[in-house]
């Protein structure tokens, strides 16, 4: 176990990074957005044009190439791609909480039951 002293602990009311991020630096999100807006390398564009029949005059960004390739993966049956597209187009499905300590029959009844008052 590592022992700490009062000299190594954060001081109450004082930021651990008082100066913050250096000015002019960009976040990963900003860098990814910038790269996504750039035009794609020709090798990747050729592959996307071949699949989607996009006219040669039209420039294609990295973002567009990536999203189109996700669709290709979905059409090829990749579950991660299908889920990715569905989550972004339809919204993520709510996650259910599985009760602990219940029999399988009780779990089934709980999953299938509804409030009688909902119809009123």
Mean pLDDT of 90-110: 72
pLDDT in the model for residue 92: 80
pLDDT in the model for residue 120: 44
Q: Using an 8 Å Cβ cutoff, are 66 and 45 in contact?
A: no
Q: Is the dihedral of CA 21, 66, 93, 103 positive or negative?
A: negative
pLDDT at residue 107 greater than cutoff 80:
no
Q: Report CA 27 to chain centroid distance, whole Å.
A: 17
pLDDT at residue 36 greater than cutoff 70:
yes
pLDDT in the model for residue 2: 63
Mean pLDDT score of the chain? 81
Cα separation values, 115 from 1, 29, 84, 102, 118, Å: 52, 44, 33, 20, 6
How many degrees, rounded to 5, is the angle at CA 56 between CA 54 and CA 61? 70
Q: Using an 8 Å Cβ cutoff, are 64 and 35 in contact?
A: no
| Model confidence band, residue 99 (pLDDT cutoffs 50, 70, 90) | low
Q: Using an 8 Å Cβ cutoff, are 85 and 75 in contact?
A: no
pLDDT in the model for residue 73: 94
pLDDT in the model for residue 102: 67
Return the SS3 of 53: coil
Residue 36 CB-density burial (10 A; 0-12 exposed, 13-18 middle, 19+ buried): middle
């Amino acid at each position: 176990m590592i022992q700490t002293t009062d000299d190594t602990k954060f001081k109450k009311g004082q930021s651990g990074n008082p100066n913050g991020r250096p000015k002019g630096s960009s976040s990963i999100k900003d860098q990814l957005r910038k790269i996504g807006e750039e035009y794609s390398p020709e090798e990747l564009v050729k592959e996307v044009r071949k699949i989607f029949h996009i006219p040669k005059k039209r420039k294609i960004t990295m973002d567009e190439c990536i999203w189109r390739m996700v669709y290709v993966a979905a059409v090829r049956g990749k579950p991660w791609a299908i889920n990715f597209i569905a989550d972004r187009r339809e919204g993520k499905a709510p996650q259910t909480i599985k009760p602990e300590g219940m029999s399988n029959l009780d779990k089934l009844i709980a999953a299938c039951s509804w409030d009688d008052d909902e119809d009123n």
